[in-house]
Amino acid sequence: MAASSNLEDSELSTKGNLQRRAAAAAAAASLRSPNIAGQREVRRG
C-alpha cells in the first residue's frame, strides 16, 4: 500500500513539475519573442 501510494505521489509530482516547466517555458518564450497579437492590443488601447 505505502509503496504504491508513494509511486503515485511521485508520478503526480513529476507531472505537475513538467506542466509548471512547460508553462514557465511558454511564458519565457512569449516574453522573449515579440507578441504580435499583444502589440496590436496595446496599440488599440
- Residue 31 has a pLDDT of 76
pTM: predicted TM-score of the whole model, two decimal places:
0.47
pLDDT tens digits along 7-21: 777 888 888 889 999
Question: Which has more pLDDT, 39 or 32?
Answer: 32
Cα separation of 45 and 33, whole Å?
A: 21
pLDDT tens digits along 24-35: 888 888 777 666
Q: What is the 3-state secondary structure (H, E, C) of 7-43?
A: HHHHHHHHHHHHHHHHHHHHHHHHHHCCCHHHHHHHH
Q: In which region does residue 34 sit, left (phi positive, over 0), alpha (psi from -120 to 50) or beta (all else)?
A: beta
- Residue 32 has a pLDDT of 74
- Residue 27 has a pLDDT of 84
